[in-house]
Structure 1
Amino acid sequence: MAPRKGAAANKSGSKGVPKKRVAANGFKLPEPIAPGVIITDVAKKQWRIGHSIGVGGFGEIYLASCEIDKPVSNSADYVIKVEPHRNGPLFAEMHCYMRIARPEHIETWKKERKLKRLGMPKYLGSGSFEYNKERYRFMVMERFGRDLQKILEQHSKRFSFKTVYQVGIQILDVLEYIHSKEYIHADIKASNLLIGYKPGTENQVFLVDFGLACRYANDGKHKEYKYDQRKAHDGTIEFTSRDAHIGAHSRRGDLEILGYNMTQWLCARLPWEDNLQDCNDVFAKKRGFMENISSFISLCFPDTEPPGLNEYLEYVVSLAFDEKPDYEKCRNILREGLKARGYRDDGKLVFMSATPVLPSKKSKARTDRKVSKRKSEESDTVSNEESEEIEEPLRNRKVAKKRAKISIGNLEKKEGSPVEKENKAKANLKARGRGKRKDKIAVGAAISVPYSGIVNPTPQMLALMKKNVVI
């Protein structure tokens, strides 16, 4: 079956010859592969290709199934990454997965450390095949959900404090596993962090895209610290570690990259993002700020410093180039940070907006909320998808508020009660004052909303009503 011909092919002026697809980084993209094609991996297992679900910097990702006798459904549990043989990035990633991501290795690690989950993708198969006289390389993986970058953009480019630290703890788990295999990831960022797709993995983040992963040691011997022009500034420039800026590879570099990510997720922008085209300038600024972390934190968070972030970065900076990090110490720093803000490490990911969102006209009045210092820094507004995941403190506050309204309402309705008598007296006073209120409105005086028109008053509003205060 011939590949699809896009509109670009018709505009090129060559009849019947589709225009070659090229990624932004210059790599040739594979020609579209028709759903239904069956390929065989190196272990002789067959896979059926479904429709495309995404295009990357060097290849394309398709849904896949091991049930080759029927079409691949939209709910397929697997995906296949495909790239032309001449490219290369998938070749490096594939061999990295083969060494460190075999399912049995991951499960053994989880059992030894008593982990309920680990966001390390599993290698399920790989190989090569020919399609329309073109040779392609492929790798089979689990299917994942949305990436954090898309979620981040839906929340004003900032995550809540709990979300950031909870994700950080999960990534530290993955880094400890990867580093135990003598590899570093080198490109941690929101677009490479995916939420689980299968039921039960909704609160799990997976670190994907090992295209820049490389060995920092060989058989226990750490590589030396030296400049390598070929790999200098590798990675995503705003997060690249100081070691990676000179082409050196280290475990502390991965922890530093994670620190930059957490900082950006909390404050939305890093100090060196104004000049990302100049790699040396970015490198110089990172060195300067990491030599004075307090000034870095103060610049990023002029109002309130996130508890634990300074301590985490100070620890990363204190590590020697070839030193093994204390991963549990790093996790505990973040856990203590959560505790300082009234949260706990419950493993739940609640993607809340960190930027205050104005309530709609139909929403309940929120002027009565006496928000604590912690809550004033991050909005409690949550998307419909995550509304069931709201933290316990917020839920308790809403329950208490509801009970208060019920108790006050019952007291007011009770005939002969002091409150009921007081309300009747207020009603008479209000009736006599209506004419004056209408006159004020008629001449353009400031209009106040009478409390009788409030559908769902809060306990604080009811208290004001008893004092005959117009609100």
Structure 2
Amino acid sequence: MPPKAKAAGRVRAPAKRKLAEKFSPGEVLTDMAKKSWKLGAPVGQGGFGLIYLAEENSAKPVGADARYVVKVEPSDSGPLFSELKFYMRAAKPDQIRNWMKSQKLKSLGVPRYWGSGLHVRGEKSYRFMVMDRFSTDLQKKFEENGKQFPRKLVLQLGLRLLDILEYIHEHEYVHADIKASNVMLGYSDPNQIYLVDYGLAYRYAPDGVQKEYKEDPKRCHDGTIELTSIDAHKGAAPCRRSDLEILSYCMAQWLCGRLPWEDKLQDPLYVKESKIRSRENISEFMSKCFSSQDKPDEIQKFMEEVKSMDYQDKPEYEKLRSILQAGLKSIQAKDDGKLEFSAVDTAAPKPPKKTLKRKVAAEEAESGTGGSPIKKKRVPTKKEANGVEKSPRKGQKRAAHTKKRSSPKSTDGEMATSVSPGPAKRGRPKKIR
């Protein structure tokens, strides 16, 4: 008898790699430059190991305010090895400092590389990398805010990510996995953002020679499925326009809460075709994401600019910045350096202050001493609607009016803090590698 066919849709899962063992606080690692780093408490976990607080080695223990973190993973695991290539080539502190000076930038959200090496413990070998410490990631902020960011904030984020992408593009790399969970807030400055996780970073122009467009079926849909570029869906290596396309999806998602194809993320072909249709008809895409009165023109213009690019084209970064800056101007805002994650309702009126006469009248009405007191069990006539007679005596009219103004039914406080709920909460973006 012929062998039974395998059940459709079942794929054998790859063997799970073991995480690096947990190191105790005080463990000292020595990098390739012979610099020693002391570990503190673990503060996070990557795919293959833990992330520890760290400081330069000294007699003091590593405190909770440590400025650095160390990623540690088994030396035979791949992700950190791939990241290290980018950091060692393009993220040395002097490189970043010189770029900021040449571009007249006050800040640049590229994590700085401080050292790396191998650490042997017993018969096991571990790879490690030292980098800046960060605070929370943007995905947590997005979820805390009902999966919707204010327009000003989104445009500010777009401008800062453009600065970051221009830097890494000029250093021969593309990121290929821009998303909220890969954008971190600074530890010492929460108004600064950093683009992290260069595990999918690709050297698109080694030694200045750009790679040519070539589709590889084995590489189809690399990246985070809802945000990855059409190039990646087709199996082509990422390029500069790929990063900008991903950035446009991020900005749209942060503004409207949900992209049109997020209903079928388990179907990569559906997502791919949806993105292709959206690129062909950007106006239709915008209508699916936004109501007519809330449609941000700058996002459409940004997407149209990216659409006009060829695979090997160098982006016009300044033109893209001007599009986002025009968006800020249209809402009478500017990039003031402050990241405000919740929209503030400035239109809510403050309760009116009582004048002395009104205050006295209110007190008289409540005590029944002012004007003609209102009898408790008296049934008002039709003409006494709202507590005012057709020809009221002076004290009565003033008392009734004041009582209405000081009614406890005022909702001013609620109006000032209410936020429209965003789409239903879902998990973190699904990553396909």
Q: State the TM-score, normalized to the length of structure 1.
A: 0.74
Please tell me whether the aligned partners of residues 49 and 63 of structure 1 are also in contact (alpha carbons under 8 angstroms). yes
2:396 match:
none
**Residue of structure 1 in register with 2:201 after alignment:** 213
Equivalent residue for 2:124? Answer: 134
Range 157-166 or range 24-33, more displaced: 24-33
Of 334, 352, 377, 1:435 maps to 377
Show the counterpart of 1:258: 247
Change (3 A) 1:436 1:196: farther
DSSP 3-state at the match of 1:135: strand
Q: State yes or no: 1:104 paired with 2:94.
A: yes
C-alpha change, 1:405 and 1:127, in structure 2 (3 Å) is: same
- The one-letter code of the counterpart of 1:161 is R
Q: Deviations over 1:217-250 (max 9, x none)?
A: 1222211111023432111111100112223221
Deviation at 1:184, TM superposition (A): 0.2
Q: Are 1:180 and 2:144 an aligned pair?
A: no
C-alpha distance in structure 2 between counterparts of 1:451 and 1:68, whole Å: 67
The residue number in structure 2 matching 1:235 is: 223
Residue by residue over 1:148-183, the C-alpha shift from the partner in whole angstroms, topping out at 9 and shown as x without a partner, is 011111111111111111111110000000000010
CA distance in 1, matches of 2:134, 2:165: 19
Q: Is the 8 A contact 1:289 1:295 kept in 2?
A: yes
Instruction: Give the deviation of 1:277 after TM superposition.
Output: 2.0
The yes-or-no answer on 1:291 pairing with 2:280 is yes
Of residues 364, 369, 380 in structure 1, which corresponds to 2:344?
380
Amino acid at match of 1:29: L
Taking the aligned partners of 2:369 and 2:159, their CA distance within structure 1 comes to 58
Between the two proteins, what is the percent identity of the paired residues? 48
Distance 1:427 1:222 in 2: 89
**Conserved? CA contact 1:307–1:340, under 8 Å:** no
1:306 aligned to 2:252? no
Report the counterpart of residue 305 of structure 2 in structure 1.
315
Q: Could you give the per-residue CA deviations for residues 124-148 of structure 1, whole angstroms, max 9, x where no partner exists?
A: 0000101242110000001000000
> Which residue matches 1:409?
355
- The answer to whether the Cα contact below 8 Å between 1:223 and 1:249 also exists between their aligned partners in 2 is no
Distance apart, 1:36 and its partner CA: 1.0
Aligned 8 A contact 1:215 1:249 in 2: no
In the other structure, the counterpart of 1:20 is none
1:88 offset after TM fit, Å? Answer: 1.1
Match of 2:237, SS?
A: coil
- From 280, 289, 310, give the equivalent of 2:269: 280
Matched, 1:123 2:137: no
Task: Report the CA distance between 1:439 and its aligned residue.
Answer: 12
Give the distance between the partners of 1:25 and 1:291, measured in 2 at CA: 41
Matched ranges for 1:381-396 at <5 A: 394=346
Task: Give deviations 1:235-293, integer Å, cap 9, x for gaps.
Answer: 11111001122232210100110111111111111111122222222111111111100
Could you tell me which of 10, 27, 32 is aligned with 2:22?
32
Alpha carbons of 1:299 and 1:423: their partners in 2 closer, same or farther (altered >3 Å)?
same
Where relative contact order (Cα < 8 A, 6+ residues apart) is larger, the structure is 2
Say which SS state the counterpart of residue 21 (structure 2) adopts. coil
Task: Find 1:329's aligned residue among 294, 298, 319.
Answer: 319
For residue 423 of structure 2, what is the aligned residue in structure 1? Answer: none
Q: In structure 2, what is the Cα distance between the partners aligned to 1:240 and 1:430?
A: 75
Letter in 1 for 2:355: G
Question: Which residue of the partner structure matches residue 232 of structure 2?
Answer: 244
For residues 290 and 113 of structure 1, the distance between their equivalents in structure 2, rounded to whole angstroms, comes to: 32
* Structure 1 pair 182–122 and aligned structure 2 pair: CA distance change class (3 A): same
Q: Does 1:164 align with 2:167?
A: no
Code of the aligned partner of 2:206: N
The RMSD of aligned alpha carbons is: 2.9
The residue type paired with residue 278 of structure 2 is F
- Which runs of 5 or more residues in structure 1 are unaligned? 1-22, 353-378, 382-393, 441-448, 459-471
Q: Equivalent of 1:150, from 136, 140, 143?
A: 140
Q: Could you tell me how far apart the structure 1 residues matched to 2:321 and 2:32 are?
A: 39
**Number of residues of Structure 1 aligned to a counterpart in Structure 2:** 376
Matched position secondary structure for 2:135: strand
Deviation string, structure 1 residues 389-416 (Cα, Å, up to 9, x no partner):
xxxxx3xx68xx66x844x536746x9x
Tell me which amino acid in the other structure corresponds to 2:58.
Answer: I
Mean Cα deviation higher: 161-170 or 301-310: 301-310
1:267 aligns with 2:267: no
Residue 72 of structure 1 corresponds to 62
Partner of 1:361: none
The AA in structure 2 aligned to 1:339 is K
Equivalent pair of 1:212/1:235 in contact (CA under 8 Å): yes
The Cα shift of 1:328 comes to 1.3
Structure 1 equivalent of residue 214 of structure 2:
226
Pair 1:427–1:36, CA change in 2 (3 A): same
Q: 1:342 aligns with which of 316, 332, 351?
A: 332
Aligned equivalents of 1:308 and 1:236: distance in 2?
Answer: 24
Match among 147, 172, 183 for residue 193 of structure 1: 183
Q: Is the 8 A contact 1:187 1:236 kept in 2?
A: yes
Aligned CA distance change for structure 1 residues 65 and 423 (closer, same or farther; 3 Å): same
Choose the corresponding residue for 2:191, options 203, 207, 210: 203
Which residue identity is paired with 2:211? K
**Could you tell me the TM-score, scaled by structure 2's length?**
0.80
Q: 2-side partners of 1:278 and 1:25: how far apart?
A: 24
Give distance in 2, aligned partners of 1:260 and 1:149.
Answer: 15
Residue 108 of structure 1, CA deviation: 0.5
Which piece of structure 1 moves more, 228-237 or 306-315? 228-237
Shift of 1:380: 2.4
Question: Could you tell me how far 1:192 is from its partner in structure 2?
Answer: 0.5
Q: Is the Cα contact below 8 Å between 2:28 and 2:57 reproduced in 1?
A: no
Partner of 2:417: none
